[in-house]
A = this chain, B = another copy of it.
Amino acid sequence: MAGVAILGFGVVGSGVAEVLRGNGNHIGQKLHSNLELKYILDVKDFPDSPFGDLVIHDFSVIEADPNVEVVVETIGGIGVARDFTQRALKAGKSVVTSNKELVATYGYELMDLARENGVSYLYEASVGGGIPIIHPLKQCLAANKITEIRGILNGTTNYILTRMIRSGLSFQDALTEAQEKGYAEADPTADVEGHDACRKICILASLAFGRHIVPGQVPTEGITKVTLNDVAYAERVGYQIKLLGRAVQEPEGKLQAYVAPHLIPTADPLSGVEGVFNAITVKGNAIGDVMFYGQGAGKLPTASAVVSDVMEAVNRKNAAKYLDWGPGGEDLISREDQPCPWYVRVAVGEGALASAIEGIRIIKSDRAEKEESAGLTGPLTAEMLKKCLSPLGLQAAFRVLED
Protein backbone atom coordinates (compact mmCIF):
# COMPACT_ATOMS: atom_id res chain seq x y z
CA MET A 1 0.00 0.00 0.00
CA ALA A 2 1.49 3.34 -1.11
CA GLY A 3 -0.07 6.65 -0.06
CA VAL A 4 -0.68 9.35 -2.67
CA ALA A 5 -1.43 13.06 -2.22
CA ILE A 6 -2.74 15.36 -4.96
CA LEU A 7 -1.81 19.06 -4.93
CA GLY A 8 -4.48 21.14 -6.71
CA PHE A 9 -7.99 19.83 -7.34
CA GLY A 10 -8.56 21.36 -10.77
CA VAL A 11 -9.26 19.56 -14.05
CA VAL A 12 -6.19 17.30 -14.01
CA GLY A 13 -6.13 16.82 -10.23
CA SER A 14 -9.74 15.67 -10.12
CA GLY A 15 -9.10 13.40 -13.12
CA VAL A 16 -6.21 11.79 -11.22
CA ALA A 17 -8.53 11.13 -8.26
CA GLU A 18 -11.11 9.57 -10.60
CA VAL A 19 -8.60 7.29 -12.34
CA LEU A 20 -7.05 6.21 -9.03
CA ARG A 21 -10.47 5.25 -7.72
CA GLY A 22 -12.15 4.00 -10.91
CA ASN A 23 -9.23 1.84 -12.06
CA GLY A 24 -8.10 0.94 -8.54
CA ASN A 25 -8.43 -2.85 -8.89
CA HIS A 26 -6.70 -2.85 -12.24
CA ILE A 27 -3.88 -0.67 -10.87
CA GLY A 28 -3.44 -2.90 -7.83
CA GLN A 29 -3.08 -5.98 -10.02
CA LYS A 30 -0.58 -4.38 -12.37
CA LEU A 31 1.47 -2.78 -9.61
CA HIS A 32 1.32 -5.75 -7.20
CA SER A 33 0.51 -3.14 -4.54
CA ASN A 34 -2.42 -0.79 -3.95
CA LEU A 35 -2.38 2.98 -4.20
CA GLU A 36 -4.30 4.86 -1.51
CA LEU A 37 -5.36 8.42 -2.22
CA LYS A 38 -4.84 10.04 1.18
CA TYR A 39 -4.99 13.81 0.69
CA ILE A 40 -6.05 16.43 -1.80
CA LEU A 41 -4.53 19.83 -1.14
CA ASP A 42 -6.47 22.85 -2.37
CA VAL A 43 -7.28 26.36 -1.16
CA LYS A 44 -10.99 25.62 -1.58
CA ASP A 45 -13.28 22.99 -0.07
CA PHE A 46 -15.28 20.61 -2.26
CA PRO A 47 -18.17 19.49 -0.05
CA ASP A 48 -20.11 18.04 -3.00
CA SER A 49 -17.26 16.00 -4.42
CA PRO A 50 -17.00 12.29 -3.60
CA PHE A 51 -13.40 13.14 -2.67
CA GLY A 52 -14.44 16.09 -0.47
CA ASP A 53 -13.40 14.41 2.78
CA LEU A 54 -9.80 14.09 1.55
CA VAL A 55 -9.36 17.84 1.00
CA ILE A 56 -6.90 19.63 3.27
CA HIS A 57 -5.36 23.10 3.16
CA ASP A 58 -2.02 22.64 4.89
CA PHE A 59 0.85 21.16 2.88
CA SER A 60 2.82 20.32 6.03
CA VAL A 61 0.35 17.52 6.81
CA ILE A 62 1.39 15.78 3.58
CA GLU A 63 5.04 16.62 4.13
CA ALA A 64 4.98 15.02 7.58
CA ASP A 65 3.02 11.87 6.70
CA PRO A 66 5.49 9.01 6.19
CA ASN A 67 2.83 6.95 4.41
CA VAL A 68 2.66 9.38 1.50
CA GLU A 69 5.12 7.98 -1.02
CA VAL A 70 4.08 9.99 -4.06
CA VAL A 71 2.93 13.60 -4.37
CA VAL A 72 1.06 14.56 -7.54
CA GLU A 73 1.53 18.24 -8.42
CA THR A 74 -1.21 19.60 -10.67
CA ILE A 75 -1.19 23.19 -9.39
CA GLY A 76 0.59 24.67 -12.38
CA GLY A 77 2.86 27.71 -12.60
CA ILE A 78 6.31 28.17 -11.09
CA GLY A 79 5.45 29.71 -7.71
CA VAL A 80 3.93 27.60 -4.97
CA ALA A 81 4.15 24.50 -7.20
CA ARG A 82 7.96 24.77 -7.14
CA ASP A 83 8.03 25.34 -3.41
CA PHE A 84 5.82 22.33 -2.64
CA THR A 85 7.74 20.16 -5.09
CA GLN A 86 11.03 21.00 -3.40
CA ARG A 87 9.59 20.32 0.04
CA ALA A 88 8.06 17.01 -1.03
CA LEU A 89 11.32 15.81 -2.62
CA LYS A 90 13.31 16.85 0.46
CA ALA A 91 10.83 14.88 2.59
CA GLY A 92 11.74 11.76 0.57
CA LYS A 93 8.58 11.62 -1.54
CA SER A 94 8.56 11.13 -5.30
CA VAL A 95 6.77 13.87 -7.23
CA VAL A 96 4.72 13.36 -10.40
CA THR A 97 3.65 16.42 -12.36
CA SER A 98 1.68 17.62 -15.35
CA ASN A 99 3.17 21.12 -14.93
CA LYS A 100 5.07 21.83 -18.13
CA GLU A 101 6.05 25.36 -17.13
CA LEU A 102 7.76 24.12 -13.97
CA VAL A 103 9.56 21.24 -15.72
CA ALA A 104 10.66 23.44 -18.63
CA THR A 105 11.94 26.17 -16.31
CA TYR A 106 13.31 24.31 -13.27
CA GLY A 107 13.43 20.66 -14.41
CA TYR A 108 17.16 20.22 -13.91
CA GLU A 109 17.12 21.70 -10.41
CA LEU A 110 14.16 19.52 -9.35
CA MET A 111 15.56 16.30 -10.85
CA ASP A 112 18.84 16.94 -9.12
CA LEU A 113 17.01 17.42 -5.81
CA ALA A 114 15.08 14.19 -6.44
CA ARG A 115 18.30 12.29 -7.13
CA GLU A 116 19.92 13.69 -3.96
CA ASN A 117 16.97 12.41 -1.96
CA GLY A 118 16.77 9.03 -3.71
CA VAL A 119 13.29 9.64 -5.14
CA SER A 120 11.81 10.27 -8.61
CA TYR A 121 10.56 13.41 -10.35
CA LEU A 122 8.36 12.22 -13.23
CA TYR A 123 6.60 14.35 -15.85
CA GLU A 124 5.13 12.16 -18.63
CA ALA A 125 1.92 14.23 -18.46
CA SER A 126 3.71 17.51 -19.10
CA VAL A 127 3.99 16.90 -22.85
CA GLY A 128 1.26 15.53 -25.11
CA GLY A 129 -1.27 14.90 -22.32
CA GLY A 130 -1.76 11.16 -22.27
CA ILE A 131 0.43 10.36 -25.30
CA PRO A 132 3.41 8.31 -24.17
CA ILE A 133 6.46 10.32 -25.24
CA ILE A 134 8.71 11.01 -22.24
CA HIS A 135 9.25 7.37 -21.25
CA PRO A 136 9.68 6.17 -24.84
CA LEU A 137 12.35 8.85 -25.31
CA LYS A 138 14.06 7.92 -22.05
CA GLN A 139 13.82 4.19 -22.49
CA CYS A 140 12.69 2.68 -25.78
CA LEU A 141 14.79 5.04 -27.89
CA ALA A 142 17.70 5.14 -25.43
CA ALA A 143 20.10 3.37 -27.79
CA ASN A 144 19.68 6.13 -30.37
CA LYS A 145 21.37 9.43 -30.85
CA ILE A 146 18.34 11.68 -31.38
CA THR A 147 18.87 14.19 -34.16
CA GLU A 148 15.48 15.86 -34.40
CA ILE A 149 12.15 16.17 -32.62
CA ARG A 150 9.20 18.02 -34.07
CA GLY A 151 5.66 18.12 -32.94
CA ILE A 152 2.20 19.56 -33.02
CA LEU A 153 2.34 20.19 -29.30
CA ASN A 154 -0.66 22.41 -28.67
CA GLY A 155 -4.20 21.21 -29.30
CA THR A 156 -5.80 24.66 -29.07
CA THR A 157 -3.80 26.15 -31.92
CA ASN A 158 -4.15 22.98 -33.98
CA TYR A 159 -7.92 23.15 -33.52
CA ILE A 160 -7.95 26.79 -34.63
CA LEU A 161 -5.80 26.07 -37.69
CA THR A 162 -7.92 23.03 -38.59
CA ARG A 163 -11.08 25.13 -38.48
CA MET A 164 -9.44 27.78 -40.64
CA ILE A 165 -8.27 25.16 -43.14
CA ARG A 166 -11.38 22.96 -43.25
CA SER A 167 -14.18 25.48 -42.74
CA GLY A 168 -12.74 28.81 -43.78
CA LEU A 169 -13.21 30.44 -40.37
CA SER A 170 -11.01 33.45 -39.66
CA PHE A 171 -8.45 33.16 -36.89
CA GLN A 172 -10.66 35.25 -34.60
CA ASP A 173 -13.83 33.23 -35.31
CA ALA A 174 -12.01 29.93 -34.85
CA LEU A 175 -10.56 31.17 -31.57
CA THR A 176 -14.00 32.23 -30.32
CA GLU A 177 -15.40 28.82 -31.26
CA ALA A 178 -12.52 27.06 -29.47
CA GLN A 179 -13.24 29.14 -26.37
CA GLU A 180 -16.94 28.24 -26.54
CA LYS A 181 -16.05 24.54 -26.76
CA GLY A 182 -13.66 24.73 -23.83
CA TYR A 183 -10.59 24.08 -26.01
CA ALA A 184 -9.18 27.56 -25.42
CA GLU A 185 -8.98 29.60 -22.26
CA ALA A 186 -10.54 33.02 -21.74
CA ASP A 187 -7.02 34.44 -22.02
CA PRO A 188 -5.64 32.41 -24.92
CA THR A 189 -2.22 34.07 -24.98
CA ALA A 190 -0.16 31.09 -23.77
CA ASP A 191 -1.63 28.92 -26.53
CA VAL A 192 -1.92 31.22 -29.55
CA GLU A 193 1.41 32.96 -28.96
CA GLY A 194 3.17 29.59 -28.78
CA HIS A 195 4.33 29.76 -25.12
CA ASP A 196 2.71 26.42 -24.27
CA ALA A 197 4.35 24.70 -27.25
CA CYS A 198 7.62 26.38 -26.28
CA ARG A 199 7.58 24.82 -22.80
CA LYS A 200 6.90 21.40 -24.30
CA ILE A 201 9.66 21.54 -26.91
CA CYS A 202 12.03 22.66 -24.13
CA ILE A 203 11.23 19.50 -22.17
CA LEU A 204 11.55 17.22 -25.21
CA ALA A 205 14.77 18.88 -26.37
CA SER A 206 16.32 18.74 -22.89
CA LEU A 207 15.54 15.06 -22.63
CA ALA A 208 16.69 14.20 -26.15
CA PHE A 209 19.93 16.16 -26.01
CA GLY A 210 20.75 15.69 -22.31
CA ARG A 211 21.05 19.35 -21.31
CA HIS A 212 18.53 21.81 -19.99
CA ILE A 213 17.09 24.10 -22.64
CA VAL A 214 14.90 26.78 -21.05
CA PRO A 215 12.00 28.74 -22.61
CA GLY A 216 14.02 31.98 -22.73
CA GLN A 217 16.43 30.32 -25.20
CA VAL A 218 13.74 29.25 -27.64
CA PRO A 219 12.49 31.79 -30.21
CA THR A 220 8.72 31.48 -30.20
CA GLU A 221 6.18 32.66 -32.73
CA GLY A 222 2.47 31.81 -32.49
CA ILE A 223 -0.30 31.65 -35.08
CA THR A 224 -1.85 35.11 -34.72
CA LYS A 225 -0.37 36.28 -38.03
CA VAL A 226 -1.76 33.37 -40.06
CA THR A 227 -4.56 34.55 -42.36
CA LEU A 228 -7.13 32.71 -44.43
CA ASN A 229 -5.17 33.77 -47.50
CA ASP A 230 -2.12 31.96 -46.19
CA VAL A 231 -4.21 28.86 -45.58
CA ALA A 232 -5.61 28.95 -49.10
CA TYR A 233 -2.26 29.70 -50.74
CA ALA A 234 -0.62 26.89 -48.80
CA GLU A 235 -3.28 24.40 -49.80
CA ARG A 236 -2.96 25.43 -53.45
CA VAL A 237 0.68 24.41 -53.45
CA GLY A 238 0.10 21.17 -51.47
CA TYR A 239 0.89 22.27 -47.94
CA GLN A 240 -0.92 22.59 -44.61
CA ILE A 241 -0.08 25.27 -42.05
CA LYS A 242 0.69 23.84 -38.61
CA LEU A 243 2.33 25.28 -35.52
CA LEU A 244 5.40 23.17 -34.78
CA GLY A 245 7.84 23.00 -31.93
CA ARG A 246 11.12 21.78 -33.33
CA ALA A 247 14.50 20.86 -31.90
CA VAL A 248 17.42 19.84 -34.07
CA GLN A 249 20.93 18.66 -33.41
CA GLU A 250 23.16 19.68 -36.30
CA PRO A 251 25.72 17.09 -37.47
CA GLU A 252 28.49 19.06 -35.73
CA GLY A 253 26.59 18.88 -32.45
CA LYS A 254 25.11 22.38 -32.29
CA LEU A 255 21.51 22.58 -31.09
CA GLN A 256 18.62 24.75 -32.11
CA ALA A 257 15.06 24.82 -30.83
CA TYR A 258 12.14 27.06 -31.77
CA VAL A 259 8.38 27.29 -32.15
CA ALA A 260 6.89 28.69 -35.35
CA PRO A 261 4.15 28.11 -37.92
CA HIS A 262 5.34 25.84 -40.74
CA LEU A 263 4.07 24.78 -44.12
CA ILE A 264 4.00 20.99 -44.06
CA PRO A 265 3.81 18.89 -47.23
CA THR A 266 0.69 16.72 -47.46
CA ALA A 267 2.80 13.55 -47.59
CA ASP A 268 4.23 14.23 -44.11
CA PRO A 269 2.30 12.30 -41.43
CA LEU A 270 2.09 15.47 -39.30
CA SER A 271 -0.04 17.16 -41.98
CA GLY A 272 -2.96 14.82 -41.25
CA VAL A 273 -3.08 15.64 -37.54
CA GLU A 274 -6.29 17.58 -37.06
CA GLY A 275 -8.40 19.23 -34.38
CA VAL A 276 -7.25 19.00 -30.78
CA PHE A 277 -4.93 16.07 -31.52
CA ASN A 278 -1.19 16.26 -30.95
CA ALA A 279 1.59 14.34 -32.66
CA ILE A 280 5.31 14.18 -32.12
CA THR A 281 7.92 12.73 -34.48
CA VAL A 282 11.34 11.67 -33.28
CA LYS A 283 14.29 10.99 -35.56
CA GLY A 284 17.10 8.81 -34.24
CA ASN A 285 20.27 7.56 -35.87
CA ALA A 286 19.17 3.90 -35.66
CA ILE A 287 15.38 4.09 -35.47
CA GLY A 288 14.73 6.49 -38.35
CA ASP A 289 11.41 8.29 -37.79
CA VAL A 290 8.75 7.30 -35.29
CA MET A 291 5.56 9.18 -34.50
CA PHE A 292 3.37 9.34 -31.40
CA TYR A 293 -0.20 10.54 -31.81
CA GLY A 294 -3.21 11.13 -29.57
CA GLN A 295 -5.19 13.61 -27.53
CA GLY A 296 -2.68 16.10 -26.23
CA ALA A 297 -4.81 17.34 -23.37
CA GLY A 298 -8.04 16.59 -21.56
CA LYS A 299 -8.83 15.53 -18.03
CA LEU A 300 -8.68 11.76 -18.24
CA PRO A 301 -5.93 11.34 -20.86
CA THR A 302 -3.65 13.61 -18.82
CA ALA A 303 -4.67 11.89 -15.59
CA SER A 304 -3.86 8.54 -17.23
CA ALA A 305 -0.27 9.67 -17.78
CA VAL A 306 -0.02 11.04 -14.22
CA VAL A 307 -1.29 7.83 -12.62
CA SER A 308 0.98 5.66 -14.77
CA ASP A 309 3.88 7.79 -13.51
CA VAL A 310 2.71 7.30 -9.92
CA MET A 311 2.83 3.53 -10.52
CA GLU A 312 6.30 3.90 -12.02
CA ALA A 313 7.51 5.93 -9.04
CA VAL A 314 6.33 3.21 -6.65
CA ASN A 315 7.73 0.47 -8.87
CA ARG A 316 11.18 2.04 -9.14
CA LYS A 317 11.41 3.08 -5.52
CA ASN A 318 14.61 1.18 -4.96
CA ALA A 319 16.16 1.62 -8.40
CA ALA A 320 19.21 3.81 -8.96
CA LYS A 321 18.31 7.42 -9.74
CA TYR A 322 19.94 9.34 -12.58
CA LEU A 323 19.36 12.77 -14.02
CA ASP A 324 17.31 12.86 -17.21
CA TRP A 325 19.33 15.83 -18.37
CA GLY A 326 22.22 17.99 -17.29
CA PRO A 327 22.48 21.72 -16.61
CA GLY A 328 21.97 24.18 -19.44
CA GLY A 329 24.30 26.51 -21.28
CA GLU A 330 24.36 29.45 -23.65
CA ASP A 331 25.49 27.78 -26.84
CA LEU A 332 22.27 27.24 -28.78
CA ILE A 333 22.25 28.25 -32.43
CA SER A 334 19.97 31.12 -33.24
CA ARG A 335 17.19 30.08 -35.55
CA GLU A 336 17.66 33.34 -37.44
CA ASP A 337 20.97 32.03 -38.71
CA GLN A 338 19.64 28.75 -40.08
CA PRO A 339 18.86 28.74 -43.77
CA CYS A 340 15.65 26.95 -44.77
CA PRO A 341 12.95 27.23 -47.42
CA TRP A 342 10.40 29.96 -46.76
CA TYR A 343 6.87 30.73 -47.72
CA VAL A 344 6.47 34.49 -48.04
CA ARG A 345 3.38 36.60 -48.53
CA VAL A 346 3.96 40.09 -49.87
CA ALA A 347 1.58 42.88 -50.78
CA VAL A 348 0.83 42.46 -54.47
CA GLY A 349 1.76 45.46 -56.54
CA GLU A 350 4.14 46.94 -54.03
CA GLY A 351 7.35 46.06 -55.80
CA ALA A 352 9.09 44.06 -58.46
CA LEU A 353 9.20 40.80 -56.51
CA ALA A 354 5.62 41.11 -55.37
CA SER A 355 4.22 41.18 -58.85
CA ALA A 356 6.61 38.48 -59.99
CA ILE A 357 5.42 36.07 -57.34
CA GLU A 358 1.69 36.84 -57.51
CA GLY A 359 1.19 37.00 -53.81
CA ILE A 360 3.10 34.02 -52.54
CA ARG A 361 6.05 31.87 -53.27
CA ILE A 362 7.92 29.01 -51.74
CA ILE A 363 11.53 30.15 -51.72
CA LYS A 364 13.98 27.28 -51.42
CA SER A 365 17.09 27.81 -49.40
CA ASP A 366 19.13 27.36 -52.56
CA ARG A 367 16.86 29.88 -54.33
CA ALA A 368 15.71 30.05 -57.92
CA GLU A 369 17.06 32.67 -60.25
CA LYS A 370 14.07 35.00 -59.92
CA GLU A 371 14.61 35.85 -56.27
CA GLU A 372 17.90 37.46 -57.13
CA SER A 373 15.90 40.46 -58.30
CA ALA A 374 15.01 41.00 -54.66
CA GLY A 375 18.65 41.17 -53.73
CA LEU A 376 18.73 37.78 -51.99
CA THR A 377 22.24 36.45 -51.82
CA GLY A 378 23.55 33.62 -49.71
CA PRO A 379 21.41 31.11 -47.83
CA LEU A 380 17.94 32.31 -46.86
CA THR A 381 17.67 33.12 -43.19
CA ALA A 382 14.96 34.99 -41.31
CA GLU A 383 17.18 38.06 -41.06
CA MET A 384 17.83 38.12 -44.78
CA LEU A 385 14.19 37.71 -45.61
CA LYS A 386 13.17 40.62 -43.44
CA LYS A 387 15.88 42.83 -44.76
CA CYS A 388 15.36 42.09 -48.43
CA LEU A 389 11.61 41.69 -48.59
CA SER A 390 10.39 44.34 -46.17
CA PRO A 391 10.76 47.20 -48.66
CA LEU A 392 8.80 45.07 -51.13
CA GLY A 393 5.84 44.62 -48.77
CA LEU A 394 6.62 41.45 -46.81
CA GLN A 395 3.56 40.61 -44.73
CA ALA A 396 4.27 37.15 -43.40
CA ALA A 397 6.95 34.49 -43.74
CA PHE A 398 6.57 30.90 -42.61
CA ARG A 399 9.19 28.19 -42.62
CA VAL A 400 8.57 25.25 -44.95
CA LEU A 401 9.22 21.83 -43.50
CA GLU A 402 11.51 19.65 -45.57
CA ASP A 403 13.24 16.43 -44.79
A294's partner among B288, B318, B319 (CB-CB below 8 A) is: B288
Interface residues of A in 126-170 (CB under 8 A from B): 130-132, 135-136, 139-145
Report B-chain residues with C-beta under 8 Å of the C-beta of A311.
Answer: 139, 142-143
Tell me whether B130 and A286 are in contact (CB under 8 A). yes
**A289 within 8 Å of B by Cβ?**
yes
- The total of chain A residues at the interface (CB under 8 A) is 56
Tell me whether A141 and B145 are in contact (CB under 8 A). no
Report B-chain residues with C-beta under 8 Å of the C-beta of A46.
Answer: none
Interface residues of A in 6-41 (CB under 8 A from B): 15, 19, 22-23, 26-27, 29-32
Shortest beta-carbon distance from A5 to chain B in Å: 17
Tell me whether A131 and B290 are in contact (CB under 8 A). yes
**A76 within 8 Å of B by Cβ?**
no
**A124 within 8 Å of B by Cβ?**
yes
Shortest beta-carbon distance from A115 to chain B in Å: 12
Residue among A210, A291, A312, A316 facing the most chain B CB atoms (10 A cut-off): A291
Q: CA of A210 to CA of B124 in the docked complex: distance in angstroms? A: 23
Tell me whether B300 and A288 are in contact (CB under 8 A). yes
Shortest beta-carbon distance from A131 to chain B in Å: 5
Tell me whether A319 and B315 are in contact (CB under 8 A). yes
Shortest beta-carbon distance from A259 to chain B in Å: 23
A140-B145 contact, Cβ under 8 Å, with A288-B295, A300-B287: no
**A327 within 8 Å of B by Cβ?**
no
Shortest beta-carbon distance from A264 to chain B in Å: 13
Jot down 16 A-B pairs with beta carbons below 8 A, ordered by A. Answer: A23-B143, A23-B144, A23-B145, A31-B142, A136-B136, A141-B304, A269-B272, A269-B293, A287-B301, A287-B305, A288-B295, A288-B298, A289-B295, A290-B293, A291-B294, A318-B319
